Chains A and B, each alone.
Chain A
Amino acid sequence: MNPVKAVTLRGVEAREVDVEVEMAGGLFSISIVGLPDASVRESKERVRAALRSVGVSLKGRIAVNLAPADLPKEGTLMDLPIAVGLALRSDRSPLSRPSLFMGELALDGKIRPVRGAVPAAILARKSGMPLYVPEGNATQVGLVSDVEAYVVDHLSSLLSHIKSGSDLPRVKSEKPGSDIPAADPDFGDIRGQSAAKRALEIAAAGHHNVLLVGAPGSGKTMLARALRGILPPLSDRELLETLTVRSTLGSDGPLDRQPPFRIVHHTASTVAVCGGGSALRPGEISLAHRGVLFLDEFTEFRRDLVEAMRQPLEDGAISVSRASGTVEYPSRVLLVLAANPCGCGWYGDPVEACRCSASELERYRRKFSGPMMDRVDLHISVPRLSPEELVGLSGAASEKSDSIRDRVCRARSVQRERWRRWGYGCNAEVPEKLLRKEMALSREGKAVLIKMANRLNLSGRGMSRVLKVSRTVADLAGESEVSKTAVMEALSYRGETRS
């Protein structure tokens, strides 16, 4: 058995691939078999040049088999293992123990970073094999603890390490600290809109999906962006999950604990949003995993796109099926939707007149129902402030994002503690039955909820939203019991307006 191992990606998971080499006499040729894609097939040119640059010249008919032969292989990360396999085979030197190699080769033997380093590191940890990675991937690999990983910058140093045991630098295991970049925009810099800010604080604390409704220019987008700055920093596990997704796309990005924030435009294709495609890539919904997925101008989204997002939002993961099998990408996101109150945007504005006809309004309203809306716990109305109102606001500076985030984190840890037994991390995830049993609704809270549910004609779903949100309101206030005021405040985010 040949101990030279490569990795290939299936979704966000790395799979082990054996690199087998056969050399026979005859005219020079290299063929690579075992379901390689175009980028793997091309690697023979890079491999031959790189090997020549370190003094290994290939002769005869060469066959490279990538096993298992029915698993599709893709990407440039096969260059290095193929080169290592060929080099060892041509001077018949053995490899002391099975090892994983990954990296793209330059023609002069330098090694370039590749996609999928984090899943590869996870695979290495699971299998206990050493992993050799390009320098550019070292930081990512360092995030996965308990991995024996080495940094290789050039093919020659790797070969001399294998043959003569010369030292290679170990990848240093390093986790980003708890610091995250300053919020941009900061809540403290947004004038007014305390009601909307308060609602976003609740959304962040309980991981509730939100809908922002307001006239153009009222600040919906800015508020949505500011939400990122008050989310709790990613835990080790969450960080690894988000990096795994990012790493399969090869996007490096800064390594910090800030949750991702992705904006999807309504013209985006279903594949771009949900993932898939011929080359199997995660979509925006997976890139936003453990962070915010922001759909601006939500009412403009195509029905089929909304329909396609339904299942991943529900399950927290999306399966993409191909003839060659099914892969799964994670997709646990905080959904933020933004929309104008009507087609022209000015319905109910104190200054600008709405230009929509009654039937246009009716048609527009109907867009606020359906699969996406069913997952929204908080409706936030964002008033467009007149210059007089902005000036009239008292001089007291608004609270800064980081002090709001402290409160959010405290509320979140209370939730984690409460739901740990059942394996949930936040109020929004908890199924209704469990929530009703364990949420500790006070007597007055229950009384007011029943009274209001009758008066407002709340549906069952509406009720359960109010319950979830009021539990989060109480968590933010540090109250173990859900009080009457918490229920009343939660009711104010219902948003169903009569007209």
Chain B
Amino acid sequence: MTRSERALLALNFSVICPGQWSRALDSLGETAESLMSDRKLALSLGLKEDRWERMTRLYGSEWPEEEMERASRFGAKVLFRGDPLFPNGLDYSDDPPVVLYVKGSWPISGPCVSIVGTRRCSPYGSQVARALAEKLASAGVLVISGGAMGIDGSAHSGALEGQGATVAVLGTGVDVVYPRGHEELFSAISERGGALMSRFPMGIRGDRWHFPKRNGIIAALADHLVVVESPVKGGSMITARLAGEMGRPVWAVPGPIVQKVSQGSNKLLFDGAQPLWDLDEFVSFVIGRDSQLSLFPLEETPEPSPLLEEIAMSGGVTADGLADKLGMSVPEVLAALADLEADEKIYRSGPGRWCALL
């Protein structure tokens, strides 16, 4: 391990915003390493004395070797700022990480789309995230999201179903499974061509302030950021703002205006985010097949079944209502619904209710 790597590990562990310090050092033509021996320099940059002492103590101790050992035992790579494998898009953020822990494959080539949204999503949000990620992944696009329940989890499972790569950026140490229920998902992600990624040292548990920092990475890595469902206040809104500041295109999926979980994403549309109104068109756009989203009517698609048409028109319909409208018997409707569900054309939006997935 080089001295500068030791310095970066110590800086990362001791300081809340290591990226800011490393930026400041850059502008002075100094490195993290020099910070360790130069108390005056540290204080002049505004570093608190106790922090500096802690940092230098770590730098001089066995700790950096132990940390590397912990990472390699877990099977994670440690990437340092300046490393050729270190993702360069990160420099656009306010506080770029100086160290990244990655378990799984890295780097992964191709365009990246980050999918974010609330943990407490509706069945609609969850289905959209899953279907979008699946389509993207099978088109060869890298899907990125956090590791939380809700939209994050649905996006990762969708990508895995699309046989593609997906990266989960965590707000905890890369070896900490949080939330608990995602143990299986996380191991599937790192084993099937994707990766778990974190800027936090090994073994660190989630803390409130971790998540905005994680969101910065999600925004910075993306070529496009999609907010599927978010209330007006929430982590996804922060991610969207960060992505906007970094110049990434921000997309939002429209939702019912009466639903709290859709109000944030709808507001993003009002504020100028791109409306993601058709999954296939978005995917084509991302992979560059369509250079421009069409302003013209859609091409004629093959005639869908009247049942699917009806579900698509109303949304959240019951088998009863469908039978009534189409003049079919309830058993007929149920049989047809089973078929459409297996084809993943429709999904259950609630007990006894169906929505179409377009």
* Shortest distance from the beta carbon of B217 to any chain A beta carbon, whole Å: 22
Q: A195-B319, A385-B318 are in contact. Are A357 and B120 (CB under 8 A)?
A: yes
Whether A357 lies near B334 (C-beta < 8 A) is no
Q: Given contacts A350-B316, A353-B259, A473-B331, is CB(A455)–CB(B350) below 8 Å?
A: no
**Which residue of B has the minimal Cβ distance to A384?**
B351
Cα A382 to Cα B319 with chains together (Å): 10
Q: Min CB distance, A364 to chain B, in Å? A: 12
Given contacts A194-B323, A194-B330, A393-B324, A499 and B336 within 8 Å (CB-CB): no
Q: By CB atoms of chain B within 10 A, which of A192, A384, A492 has the most?
A: A492
Contact check, A359 vs B181: say whether CB atoms are below 8 A apart.
Answer: yes
Residues from chain B with a CB closer than 8 A to the CB of A499 are 123, 126, 154
Q: In chain A, what residue has the closest Cβ to B154?
A: A499
How many residues of chain B have a CB within 8 Å of chain A?
A: 45
Pair A492/B334 contact, Cβ less than 8 Å: yes
**Interchain CB contact (< 8 A) of B319 among A194, A341, A349, A455:** A194
A347 touches which of B319, B334, B343, B350 (Cβ 8 Å): B350
* Interfacial chain A residues near B341, Cβ < 8 Å: 492
- Which of A73-81, A213-221, A268-276 touches B? A213-221
Are B350 and A383 in touch, CB under 8 angstroms? yes
Partner of A350, one of B148, B320, B335, B350: B350
Contact indicator B320/A393 (Cβ below 8 Å): yes
A195 touches B318 (CB 8 A): yes
Question: Please, what's the 1-or-0 string for B65-106, where 1 marks a CB less than 8 Å from any CB in chain A?
Answer: 000000000000000000000000000000000000000000
Contact, CB under 8 Å: A196 / B352: yes
B149 and A358 contacting across the interface, CB-CB below 8 Å: yes
A286 → chain B, closest Cβ, in Å? 32
Whether the pair B179, A359 counts as a contact (CB closer than 8 A) is yes
Task: Encode contact with A along B295-335: 1 for CB under 8 Å, 0 otherwise.
Answer: 00000000000000000000010111101100000111111
Contact of A356 among B120, B320, B349 (CB under 8 A): B120
Contact B351 A214 (CB under 8 A): yes
Whether A348 contacts B126 in the complex (CB less than 8 A), given A195-B330, A489-B331, comes out as: no
Q: Per-residue CB proximity of B178-196 to A under 8 Å, as 1/0?
A: 0111000000000000000
Quick one: given A198-B331, A350-B353, A489-B338, are A358 and B320 in contact (CB under 8 Å)? no
B148 surroundings in chain A (CB, below 8 A): 358
**Interface membership of chain B positions 134-161, coded 1 if the CB is closer than 8 angstroms to chain A and 0 otherwise:** 0000000000000011100110000000
Report the separation of the CA atoms of residues A388 and B130 in the bound assembly, to the nearest whole angstrom: 31
Kindly state the separation between the CA atoms of A153 and B108 in the bound complex, as whole angstroms: 93
Residues of chain B within 8 A (CB-CB) of A348 are: 122-123, 348-351, 353
A468 to chain B, nearest CB (A): 16
For the complex, what is the distance from the CA of A456 to the CA of B341, rounded to whole Å?
9
**Residue B339 at the chain A interface, CB threshold 8 Å:** yes
Is B57 part of the contact surface with A, judged by Cβ < 8 Å?
A: no
Once the chains bind, are B352 and A389 in contact (CB under 8 Å)?
A: no
Which chain B residues lie closer than 8 Å to A433 at the CB level? none
Decide if A485 touches B331 in the complex (CB within 8 Å).
yes
Pick from B121, B336, B342: contact of A456, CB below 8 A.
B342
Q: B331 contacts A341, CB within 8 Å?
A: no
Judge whether A497 and B331 touch: CB under 8 Å: no
Asked if B119 CB lies within 8 Å of chain A CBs, one says yes
Chain A residues, Cβ within 8 Å of B319:
194-195
Chain A residue contacts of B342, Cβ below 8 A = 452, 455-456, 491
Chain A residues closer than 8 Å to B126, beta-carbon distance: 499
Complex: chain A residue closest to B335, CB-CB: A488
Beta-carbon contacts of B193-229 to A below 8 Å, as 1s and 0s? Answer: 0000000000000000000000000000000000000
Name the A residues within 8 Å of B334 (CB-CB): 195, 198, 488-489, 492-493
State the Cβ distance, B329 to closest chain A Cβ, in Å: 9
Chain B residues lying within 8 Å of A492, measured Cβ to Cβ, are 334-335, 337-338, 341
- Across-interface contacts of A193 in B (CB, < 8 A): 320
- Residues on B with beta carbons closer than 8 Å to the beta carbon of A393: 320-321, 324
B347 CB–A CB distance under 8 Å: yes
A485 touches B352 (CB 8 A): no
Q: How far is the CB of A125 from chain B (nearest CB, A)?
A: 46
Report which of A196, A381, A485, A498 forms a contact with B332, defined as CB distance below 8 A.
Answer: A485
Interface presence of A362 (CB below 8 A): yes
Residues of B within 8 A of A354 (CB): 120, 122
Name the A residues within 8 Å of B333 (CB-CB).
Answer: 195
Check: B48 CB closer than 8 A to any chain A CB: no
Closest approach, in angstroms, between the C-beta of A217 and any C-beta of chain B?
Answer: 12
Q: Are B149 and A489 in contact (CB under 8 A)?
A: no
Measured between beta carbons, the chain B residues less than 8 angstroms from A485 are 331-332, 335
Known: A214-B352, A383-B353, A491-B342. A192 touches B335 (CB 8 A): no
Interface residues of A in 214-253 (CB under 8 A from B): 214-215, 218
Residues of the B chain whose Cβ atoms lie less than 8 Å from the Cβ of A381: 348, 351-353
CB distance from A118 to the nearest CB of B (A): 41
* Residues 481-497 of A at the B interface (beta carbon under 8 Å): 485, 488-489, 491-494, 497
Specify which chain B residues have a CB less than 8 angstroms from the CB of A455 in the assembled complex: 342-343
Interchain CA distance A485-B321 in the complex, whole Å = 20
The CA-CA distance from A393 to B323 in the complex, in Å, is 10
Distance in Å: Cβ of A446 to nearest Cβ of chain B: 16
Is B351 in contact with A218, judged by CB distance below 8 angstroms? yes
Q: In this assembly, does B51 line the interface, its C-beta being within 8 Å of a C-beta of chain A?
A: no
Q: Does B260 contact A (CB under 8 A)?
A: yes
The chain A residue sitting closest to B347, CB to CB, is: A498
Q: Does A394 contact B (CB under 8 A)?
A: yes
Instruction: Mark each residue of chain A from 373 to 400: 1 if its CB lies under 8 Å from any CB of chain B, else 0.
Output: 0000000011111000100111000000
Closest Cβ of chain B to A355, distance in Å, is 9
Measured CA separation A362–B154 after assembly (Å): 13
Q: What separation, in Å, do the CA atoms of A198 and B335 have in the docked complex?
A: 12
Partner of A497 from the list B130, B320, B348 (CB cut-off 8 Å) is: B348
Inter-chain CA distance A383–B352, complex, in Å, is: 5
Chain A 444-499 residues near chain B, CB threshold 8 A: 452, 455-456, 473, 485, 488-489, 491-494, 497-499
Do residues B351 and A382 form an inter-chain contact, with CB atoms below 8 A? yes
CB distance from B273 to the nearest CB of A (A): 23
CB distance from A427 to the nearest CB of B (A): 17
Residues of B within 8 A of A358 (CB): 119-121, 148-150, 153, 179
Q: Closest residue of chain B to A214, judged by CB?
A: B351
Mark B101-131 against chain A: 1 for CB-CB distance below 8 A, else 0: 0000000000000000001111100100010
Shortest Cβ-Cβ A-B pairs, 5 listed: A348-B350, A358-B149, A383-B352, A488-B335, A381-B352
Known pairs A350-B353, A394-B324, A493-B334 / 16 extra A-B pairs, C-beta < 8 Å = A192-B320, A193-B320, A198-B334, A214-B352, A353-B259, A354-B120, A356-B120, A358-B150, A358-B153, A362-B149, A381-B352, A383-B318, A455-B342, A492-B335, A498-B347, A499-B123
Show the binding face of B for A, using Cβ within 8 Å. Answer: 119-123, 126, 130, 148-150, 153-154, 179-181, 259-261, 316, 318-321, 323-324, 330-339, 341-343, 347-353
18 contacts between A and B (CB under 8 A): A192-B318, A193-B320, A194-B330, A196-B352, A213-B351, A218-B352, A341-B351, A347-B123, A348-B351, A357-B149, A359-B179, A383-B318, A389-B318, A485-B335, A488-B338, A492-B335, A492-B341, A499-B126
